[in-house]
């Protein structure tokens, strides 16, 4: 039986990875700093998961000393909040990642990064880029595997753009988008998880990117969500915010990378298939 340690285990990505390893029968140790979410997950998994209430920024004797695999999902990830609270984002996204790397011995350490770490213009992206670079330096001298996954927006993650859109459209409020030409990369949570838990990734790759990830216009994305809700919208453009780029990137020229198989954008019909299930699920829970 393998021992799996997951940080940020009550978040969208962490909880899906947790579910996968519980189904496999692995010994799962799950870390979160959100006590009420831990209580909720206790009821779902009973005694199948060992929970740790803790903070990745702090030394803690309750952290496991060893795990076969560490999934480091915990992060602060909102661009605007990173600009307002840079010290907190540095402590969580950079120092917290290194703390987990150094405190828990493992055979494989998996770090989840973001497209905003490429040519970063905001503090959130800079903290992730710094963590990426430090881990890659460590990787050269360590006997165990370090995998860095870099992707864009995970459809349906907690606090994600699609939920904001659904709330705005449902309430009849204007849908606000900062720039008419803005694009973003999108990936379904299930695709992200299936890619992350694979064992056969190229060990020589510095950064791993889902081979099918694509981008789309944010305007088209909003129209697809509205279409799935049976309405039409006229977006209002508010101007680019501090720390925001028109287009994100998934790679540096110098990356040793498993690259996206396609740089094409999603077609509108593909967007409908991408957002439809999340729209239906979110509306059903309201």
Q: Identify whether residues 166 and 227 lie together within a single domain.
A: yes
How is 1-67 classified by DSSP, letter by letter?
A: --EEEEESTTSHHHHHHHHHHHHHT-EEEEEES-HHHHHHHHHHHTTSEEEEE--TTS--TTS-SEE
Q: Identify whether residues 62 and 140 lie together within a single domain.
A: yes
Q: Where residue 265 falls among pLDDT bands split at 50, 70, 90?
A: confident
Mean pLDDT of 186-205: 85
Q: Identify whether residues 145 and 270 lie together within a single domain.
A: no
The rounded distance, in Å, linking the Cα atoms of 21 and 285 is: 26
**Structure token digits, residue 91:** 């402590």
Say what the pLDDT of residue 263 is. Answer: 56
Task: Supply the range of the domain harboring residue 30.
Answer: 1-151
Please count the structural domains in the chain.
2
The rounded distance, in Å, linking the Cα atoms of 272 and 226 is: 10
Say what the pLDDT of residue 253 is. Answer: 63
The rounded distance, in Å, linking the Cα atoms of 284 and 1 is: 37
Q: Identify whether residues 135 and 216 lie together within a single domain.
A: no
Q: Identify whether residues 11 and 140 lie together within a single domain.
A: yes
CATH number for the domain spanning 13: value is 3.40.50.720
Q: Judge whether 35 lies within some domain.
A: yes
Q: Identify whether residues 120 and 139 lie together within a single domain.
A: yes
Q: Identify whether residues 179 and 263 lie together within a single domain.
A: yes
Q: Which of these, 123, 136, 165, lies nearest to 257 by C-alpha position?
A: 136
Q: Which of these, 34, 5, 95, 113, lies nearest to 59 by C-alpha position?
A: 95
CATH number for the domain spanning 281: value is 3.90.25.30
Tell me the pLDDT tens digit for each residue of 125-176: 999 999 999 999 988 887 678 999 999 999 978 778 899 999 999 999 999 9
Q: Judge whether 200 lies within some domain.
A: no
Q: Which of these, 158, 186, 201, lies nearest to 69 by C-alpha position?
A: 201
Tell me the pLDDT tens digit for each residue of 20-39: 999 999 999 999 999 999 99
Q: Identify whether residues 243 and 139 lie together within a single domain.
A: no
Check pLDDT > 60 for residue 260.
no
Q: Judge whether 215 lies within some domain.
A: yes
Q: Identify whether residues 176 and 231 lie together within a single domain.
A: yes
Q: Identify whether residues 127 and 74 lie together within a single domain.
A: yes
Q: Identify whether residues 134 and 231 lie together within a single domain.
A: no
Q: Is 43 exposed, middle or buried (0-12, 13-18, 19+ CB in 10 A)?
A: exposed
The rounded distance, in Å, linking the Cα atoms of 284 and 282 is: 5
Q: Identify whether residues 106 and 89 lie together within a single domain.
A: yes
Q: Judge whether 195 lies within some domain.
A: no
């Amino acid at each position: 039986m393998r021992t799996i340690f997951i940080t940020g285990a009550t978040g969208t990505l962490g909880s899906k990875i947790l579910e996968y390893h519980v189904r496999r029968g692995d010994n799962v140790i799950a870390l979160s700093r959100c006590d009420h979410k831990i209580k909720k997950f206790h009821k779902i998994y009973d005694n199948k998961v060992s929970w740790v209430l803790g903070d990745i920024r702090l030394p803690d004797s309750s952290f496991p000393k060893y795990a076969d695999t560490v999934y480091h999902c915990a992060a602060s990830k909102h661009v605007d909040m990173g600009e307002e609270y840079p010290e907190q984002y540095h402590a969580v996204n950079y120092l917290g990642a290194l703390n987990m790397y150094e405190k828990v011995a493992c055979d494989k350490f998996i770090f989840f990064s973001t497209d905003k770490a490429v040519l970063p213009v905001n503090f959130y992206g800079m903290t992730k880029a710094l963590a990426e670079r430090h881990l890659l330096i460590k990787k050269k001298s360590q006997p165990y595997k370090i995998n860095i996954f870099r992707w864009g927006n995970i459809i349906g993650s907690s606090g994600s753009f699609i939920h904001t859109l659904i709330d705005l459209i449902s309430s009849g409020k204007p849908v606000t988008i900062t720039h008419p030409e803005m694009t973003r990369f999108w990936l379904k949570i299930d695709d992200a998880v299936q890619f992350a838990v694979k064992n056969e990734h190229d060990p020589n790759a510095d950064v791993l990117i889902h081979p099918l990830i694509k981008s789309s216009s944010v305007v088209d994305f909003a129209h697809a969500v509205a279409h799935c809700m049976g309405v039409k919208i006229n977006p209002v453009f508010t101007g680019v915010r501090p720390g925001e780029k028109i287009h994100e990137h998934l790679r540096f020229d110098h990356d040793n990378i498993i690259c996206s198989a396609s740089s094409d954008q999603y077609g509108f019909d593909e967007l409908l298939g991408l957002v439809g299930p999340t729209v239906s699920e979110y509306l059903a829970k309201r």
